[in-house]
């Protein structure tokens, strides 16, 4: 499959389906935000007296 035609088809799909494209982008953004928050919580709850165990 030609990569350019696949990219063009994806662009056309997302242009035609802007509402679903927005939903996908919001979902991806929320996943990134959630993973960032979980990492921050993990760092804050980490006990510094134990040191690095890896």
For residue 42, the number of C-alpha atoms closer than 13 Å in the C-beta half-sphere is: 6
Give, in degrees to the nearest 5, the angle at Cα 14 between 13 and 16.
65
- What is the structure's pLDDT at 54? 58
Q: Which domain holds residue 13?
A: 3-40
Per-residue pLDDT in tens (0 to 9) along the chain, 54 residues: 566 788 888 788 777 777 777 888 889 999 999 999 999 999 999 877 766 665
Inter-residue contact 32 to 25 (CB < 8 Å): no
54 within some domain: no
30 within some domain: yes
52 within some domain: no
- What is the distance between the terminal CA atoms of the chain, rounded to a whole angstrom? 43
45 within some domain: no
- Of 28, 4, 8, the C-alpha closest to 16 is 8
47 within some domain: no
Task: Fill in the DSSP letter of residue 17.
Answer: T
- What is the structure's pLDDT at 12? 80
- What is the structure's pLDDT at 3? 66
**What's the pTM?**
0.54
Q: How many domains does the structure of the chain reveal?
A: 1
- What is the structure's pLDDT at 4? 76
46 within some domain: no
């Amino acid at each position: 499959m030609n990569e350019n035609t696949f990219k063009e088809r994806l662009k056309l799909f997302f242009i035609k389906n802007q509402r679903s494209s927005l939903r996908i982008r919001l979902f991806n953004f929320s996943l990134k935000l959630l993973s960032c928050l979980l990492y921050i919580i993990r760092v804050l709850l980490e006990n510094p007296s134990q040191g690095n165990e890896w």
